[in-house]
Structure 1
Amino acid sequence: MIEAKGLTKRYGDTLAVNDLSFQVRPGTVTGFLGPNGAGKSTTMRMILGLDRPTKGTATVNGKHYHELKHPLRTVGALLEARWVHPNRSARAHLTWLAKANGIPKRRVEDVLDIVGLTSVASKRAGGFSLGMSQRLGIAGALLGDPEVLLFDEPVNGLDPEGILWMRKFMHRLADEGRTVLVSSHLLSEMSLTANELVVIGKGELVAQSSTADFVARATEQTVRVRSPQLSVLVDVLSGEDVGVREEDGGVVVSGMDSESIGELAAKHSIVLHELSPQQGSLEQAFMHLTGDTVEYATQ
């Protein structure tokens, strides 16, 4: 488990993270979201002991990173895919990491196979595509078979096939009981990947909840209705305390659930061709709850 308590980080007069507290539980993929400049990368760096908090604590399984006896066997991280020496092969890079952390050399071949890089393991990392570099970074994160994994923008620059692979891979890690924290700006992808969300803005916690609850709380729930007796339906609905707007040959109703609309239509013998609950998107919910925390707002 990852836990932040009152986490605060100042750089001179700049308050990057302010009294931030949250938990990331094992067995689930947790999305770490926030506008640019919200403090996500700074927070992840403090969890990994790369930055020291001004105040507060960030722990992994109850310990600070520097207290971990074998860090790579407890925590794996991908913060920057291109940090590998360009003249080293993928296998040489992972072998060096394994030796430096007391990890058996046979584990190198295991992780190369897991991420699908066995066939290119002898090639220079400098010639890798971004997608291959991301996979090599993940191989490094998995090298110690850690319980806790952090990924910063792991799908940046990937093609659709690579994104799908990454999504399934994250789910598999969580299904194995690992703690998985993923930072990303691709909200449509996070809605498919993350079961839980930690959302921050201006270094402060905006929300922590399941993805479904976050969307439901921050967006309007509506029902799309189509009927050959649309004008009659609209007249009936006008007598109720609901919102009705016409859209693409039907109406969108807010303020009444699909069951109630169906019962009302049946009472007035109105034939329905469609009765579909509509949910807002993660992007809509995110913009609604973080709109006043963006660093640069468009007019």
Structure 2
Amino acid sequence: MIEARGLTKHYGKTLAVNDLSFDVAPGEVTGFLGPNGAGKSTTMRMILGLDNPTSGQVTIGGKRYTELKNPLRTVGALLDAKWVHPNRSARAHLAWMAKSNHIPARRVDEVLDIVGLTSVAGKRAGGFSLGMSQRLGIAAALLGDPEVLLFDEPVNGLDPEGILWIRKFMHRLADEGRTVFVSSHLLSEMALTASNLVVIGKGKLISQSTTKEFVARASENTVKVRSPQLAKLRSLLPADSATDTDDGILVSGLDSEKIGELAASNGIVLHELSPQTGSLEQAFMQITGDSVEYHTGLETEARHALEPAN
């Protein structure tokens, strides 16, 4: 269990994390989402004791990271896949980490096998591709067989087979009762991987919920309507509640029952009346839109297109 309470971090005049509180429970994969500059990396660094909070605290199993004896046995983390001496072999890199935390040497070959690097274990890590470096970073996180695992962008550089592997692997870790906390910009992948989400923006908590609840919250009361009498129907709807699509309209703020009753009472024929299920990407853009530091023109246009009319 990871517990953050009132985490705040200032870098000079910059407020990177602002009174942030959340929990990450064992037995589930929890996604950590937020726009660029939201404070995700700073938060992960504070969890691992690499940065000290200005105020507040974060504990792992009730203890701060700095209080853990042989911390690799409790917490495994992948924050920077290239954090490896380029002249060390993959096996040598893991061997010194194991020795520093009194982990049996045999564990090195076990984790190399788990991540599929046995055949290149003796090669210099500096010659690894990004995908291979990611696998080595994951091996390092698993080295102490920890109960808590943190991954920052773990699928970077992986091919589709590798992405599928890491998704299944994280599910397996969670099924074993471990705490798995994953930050990623690949929202489509997070939708398949994480059952829970912690979403932040500008250093503050925006949402902590299940993934299904987060998506449902953004797509609530949005209904697609097709009709040969759209103009008449639109005139009866609340102002600015309808948005044009290629073959109909999206109506927000009314559920399908109310729209159907309105159409029936006015003799309007309907060809489709279907509540919409949003995607994680749509929900993320809608809910975090006000927390993005910088918008390009295309991003602003896309965000407005996904927002329901008010």
TM-score by length of 2: 0.84
Unpaired runs of 5+ residues, structure 1, are none
Q: Is the 8 A contact 1:233 1:265 kept in 2?
A: no
SS at match of 2:29: strand
**Shift in CA distance, 192/262, structure 1 to aligned 2, threshold 3 Å:** farther
Residue aligning to 2:228: 231
Residue aligning to 1:128: 128
**Shift in CA distance, 235/58, structure 1 to aligned 2, threshold 3 Å:** same
SS at match of 2:228: helix
1:286 Cα deviation from its structure 2 partner: 1.8
1:293 Cα deviation from its structure 2 partner: 2.0
Once residues 140 and 72 of structure 1 are traced to their aligned partners in structure 2, the CA distance between those partners, rounded to angstroms, is: 9
**Shift in CA distance, 112/202, structure 1 to aligned 2, threshold 3 Å:** same
**Map 1:56-71 → 2, pairs under 5 A:** 56-71=56-71
Q: Is the 8 A contact 1:152 1:182 kept in 2?
A: yes
> Is 1:151 the counterpart of 2:151 in the alignment?
yes
1:205 Cα deviation from its structure 2 partner: 1.0
Residue aligning to 2:277: 279
Once residues 59 and 84 of structure 1 are traced to their aligned partners in structure 2, the CA distance between those partners, rounded to angstroms, is: 27
Once residues 119 and 221 of structure 2 are traced to their aligned partners in structure 1, the CA distance between those partners, rounded to angstroms, is: 49
1:130 Cα deviation from its structure 2 partner: 0.7
SS at match of 2:103: coil
Unpaired runs of 5+ residues, structure 2, are 298-310
1:235 Cα deviation from its structure 2 partner: 6.4
**Map 1:1-299 → 2, pairs under 5 A:** 1-224=1-224, 230-231=227-228, 247-249=245-247, 252-255=250-253, 257=255, 276-299=274-297
Q: Is the 8 A contact 1:221 1:280 kept in 2?
A: no
Q: Which moves more between the two structures, 86-95 or 244-253?
A: 244-253
**Shift in CA distance, 35/120, structure 1 to aligned 2, threshold 3 Å:** same
User: Superposition RMSD on alpha carbons, in Å?
Assistant: 2.7
1:74 Cα deviation from its structure 2 partner: 0.3
1:232 Cα deviation from its structure 2 partner: 6.5
Once residues 233 and 15 of structure 1 are traced to their aligned partners in structure 2, the CA distance between those partners, rounded to angstroms, is: 49
Query: Per-residue displacement from partner, 1:190-247 (whole Å, max 9, x unpaired)?
Result: 1221111111111111111111111221235434466xxx427986897677956664
Q: Is the 8 A contact 2:89 2:121 kept in 1?
A: yes
Once residues 236 and 11 of structure 2 are traced to their aligned partners in structure 1, the CA distance between those partners, rounded to angstroms, is: 58
Query: Per-residue displacement from partner, 1:122-166 (whole Å, max 9, x unpaired)?
Result: 221111111111011000000000000001111223222222222
SS at match of 1:157: coil
Q: Is the 8 A contact 2:108 2:143 kept in 1?
A: yes
Q: Is the 8 A contact 1:31 1:194 kept in 2?
A: yes
Query: Per-residue displacement from partner, 1:39-80 (whole Å, max 9, x unpaired)?
Result: 111111111011111111110000000111120000000000
The code of the aligned residue for 1:298 comes to T
Q: Which moves more between the two structures, 119-128 or 76-85?
A: 119-128
Query: Per-residue displacement from partner, 1:7-28 (whole Å, max 9, x unpaired)?
Result: 1111122211111111000111
Q: Is the 8 A contact 1:20 1:205 kept in 2?
A: yes
Once residues 21 and 249 of structure 1 are traced to their aligned partners in structure 2, the CA distance between those partners, rounded to angstroms, is: 44
SS at match of 1:72: helix
1:168 Cα deviation from its structure 2 partner: 1.5
Q: Is the 8 A contact 1:224 1:277 kept in 2?
A: yes
1:281 Cα deviation from its structure 2 partner: 2.1
Q: Is the 8 A contact 2:24 2:179 kept in 1?
A: yes
1:287 Cα deviation from its structure 2 partner: 2.1
Once residues 92 and 147 of structure 1 are traced to their aligned partners in structure 2, the CA distance between those partners, rounded to angstroms, is: 24
**Shift in CA distance, 97/284, structure 1 to aligned 2, threshold 3 Å:** same
**Shift in CA distance, 290/67, structure 1 to aligned 2, threshold 3 Å:** same
